[in-house]
Structure 1
Amino acid sequence: MKRSYFILFALTLLCWSCKNEKESDSLEDLIPDNGEMKAMIDEVKMIPIQTPKGEMKVWTQKVGDNPRIKLLLLHGGPGMTHEQYANFKDYLPQEGIEFIWYDQLGSAGSDQPDDPSLWTIERFVDEVEQVRKELGLNKDNFYLLGQSWGGMLGMEYSFKYQNNLKGLVICNMMSSLDEYEKYAKEVLGPQMPPEVFAEVMEIEKRGDFENPRYMELLGEYHYPQHVLRKPMDEWPEEITRMMSQVNPNVYVFMQGHSEFGITPGASLEGWDVRDQLSTITIPTLVVGGEHDTMDPKHMEWMSQEIPNARYLYCPEGSHLSQFDDPEHFFPGLIQFLKDVDEGKF
């Protein structure tokens, strides 16, 4: 698997970033020296999981302590990291909500085997179930939140194991990758200057993803508009680092190189669960952002297909709405969790 595209991506981000070069092993190192806050964060727990290739370990870290609300976070990518949810520490502990940062197998703090046979939806679903058991989560307290690829994984987990869940949160993820590609090419792409979009599509047509021009164009005309709505040199340190730590062995195998759809041959190609949404019966929150890489209207439709669901719209949000529209994202998330917990949903 070629790595140069991701090396280029990392170098591009480092060039845009003016952040401290020191990297921390844990988000705890980024928290101000506040005894009360630090007391809420458990030590890292490496959880053993069984895979077709033997036992491996995945990274988790708990923040807060609430026997009734325990929120497990599924990061995007595939192959990114828990730092996608770095700022959850600024909003949820104050509301008494416990959450767990978690790096999936192949990501950051977890084991990173070089074996593509492990990068399947079914194995990741099984991994989440093993993590649930190890953490002692159950239908009386277990909430699952996934964003982007994590939203896909959350849906797939629910199709198989929703009896173990108290609530589900699907953030910034459509239920059909073909519909996502259509939205990206027919709606988002044309928002670029015509000559820019034409150049991006020509690079994709040639499969020339290692061309520095590809990242240059996306860094100016796509990421700050639809991934996180700030100039890239103002992105939070955790997000800059997360994006530079993407595991290409996982990401490329499952998603491919393209930012306007799934690269032909990637394992997630053709994924579509629109006809299964009605089988999710647990309380569900679907989150969409106005400027998202995903179609907010499709995500609103998803909330109507799921029998017991609510839609949270983030008018200023993009794909990482927790960072560019926290004023809507966190109150909506917190209200959902509390409503379910109190039997008011």
Structure 2
Amino acid sequence: MAKMTSGYVDYAGFKTYYEIYGERTPEKKPLLILHGGPGDTHNYLLNYRDMADLYGRQIVFYDQIGCGASKIPHQEDDFYTYDLWIDEFYTVREALGLDDIHLFGNSWGGMLAMMCMIRDDAGVNSMVVNGSPVNIATWLSEANRLIEYLPSDMQEAIAEAERTGDYETPAAKAAYNEYYRRHVVGCDPWPDYVQLAMSPEMVGECYYVMQGASEFVVTGKMKDFDIRADLHKIKVPTLMLSGTNDEATPLVVKEGYDLIPGCEWTLVQGAAHIGNATHAKEYLEAVEGFISRFD
């Protein structure tokens, strides 16, 4: 297995944790991976480290400030902003000498990647956006449409949980688990590395500040997220990557695909939102096949 090194980068008065797999070579530019949330951790994407062994490419992860190994003491809500994580992206790159890279983001990580490429794409040779909305209203309408395919008792349990704020009833847990099995993780039980990433001790309070209590109602700061008007500014070669069972449905993904100049799209049959958990071969091959064209 490829050698792993880890450490911390000073940021915003705290420390951002990173992991690097493999060695940097002249033939292959490093791939920097941005996880979702905001508030999840890099762990649920950890099998992308296999690209270091499979393709001889250095793979770099970091836990965004406020979660995982970059968890911080409680902060006031106004601490968490898009700019917090955008600026962290550039800070981590500078600290680690990542001035000539490829970029990958899953879910919120893809949203973050797109915002960064709208601001300043220097040194980024290509970008893969995996299951990410460009307009949160479409994401929510599609999530609520997908609920309608659940059994009626599960639909009722989700509606009741959203109404009361009690997500701990057996009926609510069963309904959310089924939605996650179908559209988020794609399997049950979850792989160990996904369970770790989603565990309460890893997920940061920023998830509740930015998103809210669940996948289906955004009450946090992301409730008005919409970057469609700026997508034409993205000049980096971009691949949209998603699964047919993804909560980022084809309609969600197509909004970005249509507006990013020259964008490409790979749709993986049978995969959910965390497609690497069930379709690792297809996802790793899609990413490497795309970014290797821009080495």
* TM more than 0.5: yes
SS at match of 2:223: coil
Q: C-alpha displacement at 1:102, in angstroms?
A: 0.8
Q: C-alpha displacement at 1:113, in angstroms?
A: 2.9
* Match status 1:98 vs 2:58: yes
CA contact (8 A) 1:41 1:61 kept: no
Judged with a 3 Å threshold, the aligned counterparts in structure 2 of structure 1 residues 213 and 198 are, in CA distance, closer, same or farther, namely closer
Q: C-alpha displacement at 1:301, in angstroms?
A: 4.2
Q: C-alpha displacement at 1:304, in angstroms?
A: 3.0
Amino acid at match of 2:180: Y
Q: Which residue of 2 aligns with 1:130?
A: 91
Deviations, residues 82-125 of structure 1 (Å, cap 9, x unaligned): 11121112344321111112111111212413113321111110
* Match status 1:165 vs 2:124: yes
User: Please, what TM-score do these two structures have when normalized by structure 2?
Assistant: 0.93
* Match status 1:198 vs 2:198: no
* Match status 1:48 vs 2:10: yes
How far apart in 2 are the matches of 1:122 and 1:191? Answer: 37
1:231 paired residue among 180, 184, 188 = 188
CA contact (8 A) 1:203 1:209 kept: yes
Runs of 4+ in structure 1 off by over 6 angstroms are none
Deviations, residues 116-163 of structure 1 (Å, cap 9, x unaligned): 33211111100111001011112xx21121111111111111111112
How far apart in 2 are the matches of 1:290 and 1:86? Answer: 22
* Match status 1:296 vs 2:258: no
2:108 paired residue among 149, 157, 172 = 149
How far apart in 1 are the matches of 2:89 and 2:112? Answer: 9
Amino acid at match of 2:102: Y
How far apart in 1 are the matches of 2:230 and 2:214? Answer: 27
CA contact (8 A) 1:312 1:329 kept: no
Amino acid at match of 2:274: L
* Match status 1:257 vs 2:213: yes
CA contact (8 A) 1:184 1:261 kept: no
Deviations, residues 259-309 of structure 1 (Å, cap 9, x unaligned): 2131x2x11111011122111011111111111111123313422321132
How far apart in 2 are the matches of 1:42 and 1:284? Answer: 28
Judged with a 3 Å threshold, the aligned counterparts in structure 2 of structure 1 residues 102 and 129 are, in CA distance, closer, same or farther, namely same
How far apart in 2 are the matches of 1:271 and 1:301? Answer: 13
Aligned length: 291
How far apart in 1 are the matches of 2:58 and 2:284? Answer: 14
Q: C-alpha displacement at 1:212, in angstroms?
A: 4.8
Q: Which residue of 2 aligns with 1:305?
A: 259
How far apart in 2 are the matches of 1:42 and 1:222? Answer: 34
How far apart in 2 are the matches of 1:207 and 1:248? Answer: 19
How far apart in 1 are the matches of 2:253 and 2:103? Answer: 17
Q: C-alpha displacement at 1:210, in angstroms?
A: 4.6
How far apart in 1 are the matches of 2:149 and 2:167? Answer: 21
CA contact (8 A) 2:129 2:239 kept: yes
How far apart in 2 are the matches of 1:212 and 1:252? Answer: 22
How far apart in 2 are the matches of 1:75 and 1:119? Answer: 16
Q: How do 1:47-126 residues align onto structure 2 when only pairs under 5 Å count?
A: 47-49=9-11, 51=12, 55-67=13-25, 68-115=28-75, 116-126=77-87
Q: How do 1:18-29 residues align onto structure 2 when only pairs under 5 Å count?
A: none
SS at match of 1:105: coil
Gaps of 5+ in 2: none
* Match status 1:240 vs 2:198: no
Amino acid at match of 2:138: E
Between 1 and 2, higher relative CO (CA 8 Å, sep ≥ 6) is seen in 2
Q: C-alpha displacement at 1:203, in angstroms?
A: 2.1
Amino acid at match of 2:23: D
Give me the CA root mean square deviation. Answer: 1.7
How far apart in 1 are the matches of 2:242 and 2:59? Answer: 21
Gaps of 5+ in 1: 1-36
* Match status 1:174 vs 2:133: yes
Decide which structure has the larger Cα Rg and report it. 1
* Match status 1:286 vs 2:240: yes
User: Please, what TM-score do these two structures have when normalized by structure 1?
Assistant: 0.80
